């Protein structure tokens, strides 16, 4: 084969980025095996104690919460985003399509902190939801919406929706409408067409979107930090507390590696399930 030096120029930056990433991960990994000395920035000799500490209930609980919140966020984001993406792709009017697109994507440009603060105003004791419910006489005392898993999931779902909508819209736009027309001609109603044709054909997008949002949420920091108010912790928050508050870089490194391993393990374990699902959809 003839060498193609032109493509080498594309390969070199990737290689440089990969080397830097591996070096950074290597540095984190070596910290994980070092002794932490309170009151000093220097780490000591080799130890496995940092890993043994992970068995304490608090860390298992935070890990469980992180997985639960990530799973719930990806599923609710999917359920809420699919209709929006469907309406956006299938709208007959160009204006309506553009309007939905604009409304769906605009939140991406407001930034995570701004959006999170907006949710604090909505979910707070004197926030929008409680004020409306109190005015309607439905509640006597404010509902505790902030500093709960519910509040964190609501904010993360809204934060994730624009990305999911874009992924699903791409999948929906690639559906061959003739397949849907053929099903309709054969007597299928709109619900049946959606269930047996549209949904299976968009399954790759559904799966990609869910996996992306799951992995993204696993590393969420600002939203659980602000909406959770320390009452709901995810792994990233623990890394921050250990590394930047306690200067315990070895244990922060262990938590970072755990987060990485869990994210990769979760995505890996999803793979066989996803393959079966796609195969089943293809057969149907």
Partner 1 sequence: MALRSAAVLAIGAMLLATAPVRAQDKLVVDIWGGNFRDGANEAIAKEFTKRTGMPVEFITGGTIDRLTKAKINRDHPESDVTVTTSHVGALYVSEGLFEKLDMAKLPNAKDLFPVAIRSPYHIGLYSYVYTPAFRTDLMPPGYDIKSWKDLWAPEAKGKLGLPDFDPSHIIIAAALLAGGNAENWKLGIPLLEQLKPSIKAFYQSDATSQDLMKSGETPVQVLLSINAFHQMQQGIPIKIAIPKEGAVVGIDAIGIVHGTKHLEAAYQYLNIALDPEVQAKLCGIYRCGAMNEKAKLDPELAKLPGVFTTPEQWKTQAIVVDDVTRAKLLPVWKDWFTENMMQ
Q: Which tokens sit at 166?
A: 């874009």
Kindly tell me which of 78 and 239 has the beta carbon lying closer to partner 1.
Answer: 239
- Compute the least distance from the CB of residue 53 to partner 1, in Å: 9
- Comparing CA positions, the residue from 205, 213, 127 lying closest to residue 168 is 205
- Compute the least distance from the CB of residue 109 to partner 1, in Å: 22
- Compute the least distance from the CB of residue 228 to partner 1, in Å: 9
Are 88 and 100 in contact, with CB atoms under 8 Å apart?
Answer: yes
- Compute the least distance from the CB of residue 84 to partner 1, in Å: 31
Kindly tell me which of 36 and 86 has the beta carbon lying closer to partner 1.
Answer: 36
Kindly tell me which of 78 and 145 has the beta carbon lying closer to partner 1.
Answer: 145
Torsion angles phi and psi, residue 43, rounded to 5:
-100, 155
CA angle centred on 79, ends 75 and 83, rounded to 5°: 155
| SS3 at position 234 | coil
The binding site for partner 1 (CB under 8 A) comprises: 36, 38-42, 56, 58, 61-62, 120, 124-126, 146-147, 225-226, 229-233, 238, 241-242, 244-248
Kindly tell me which of 117 and 194 has the beta carbon lying closer to partner 1.
Answer: 117
25, 89, 158, 167 from 83: Cα distances, Å: 40, 10, 14, 13
Torsion angles phi and psi, residue 36, rounded to 5:
-90, 130
C-alpha 147/C-alpha 224 separation (Å) is: 9
Kindly tell me which of 96 and 113 has the beta carbon lying closer to partner 1.
Answer: 113
- Compute the least distance from the CB of residue 226 to partner 1, in Å: 7
How many CB atoms are located within 10 Å of the residue 179 CB? 15
């Amino acid at each position: 084969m003839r060498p193609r030096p032109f493509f080498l120029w594309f390969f070199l930056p990737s290689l440089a980025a990969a080397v830097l990433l591996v070096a950074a991960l290597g540095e984190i990994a070596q910290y994980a095996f070092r002794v932490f000395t309170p009151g000093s920035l220097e780490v000591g000799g080799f130890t496995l104690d940092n890993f043994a500490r992970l068995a304490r209930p608090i860390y298992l609980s935070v890990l469980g919460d992180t997985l639960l919140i990530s799973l719930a966020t990806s599923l609710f984001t999917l359920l809420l985003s699919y209709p929006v993406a469907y309406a956006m792709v299938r709208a007959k009017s160009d204006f309506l399509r553009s309007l939905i697109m604009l409304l769906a994507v605009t939140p991406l440009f407001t930034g995570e902190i701004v959006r999170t603060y907006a949710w604090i105003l909505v979910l707070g004791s004197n926030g929008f939801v409680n004020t409306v419910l109190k005015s309607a006489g439905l509640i006597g005392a404010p509902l505790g919406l902030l500093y709960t898993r519910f509040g964190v999931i609501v904010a993360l779902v809204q934060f994730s929706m624009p990305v999911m909508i874009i992924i699903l819209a791409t999948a929906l736009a690639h559906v061959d409408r003739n397949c849907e027309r053929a099903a309709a001609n054969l007597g299928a109603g709109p619900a049946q067409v959606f269930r047996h044709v549209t949904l299976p054909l968009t399954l790759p997008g559904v799966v990609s979107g869910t996996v992306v949002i799951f992995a993204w949420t696993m590393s969420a920091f600002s939203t659980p930090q602000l909406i959770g108010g320390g009452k709901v912790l995810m792994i990233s928050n623990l890394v921050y507390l250990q590394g930047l508050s306690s200067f315990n870089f070895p244990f922060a490194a262990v938590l970072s590696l755990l987060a990485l391993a869990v994210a990769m393990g979760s995505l890996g374990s999803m793979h066989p399930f996803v393959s079966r699902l796609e195969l089943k959809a293809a057969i149907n």
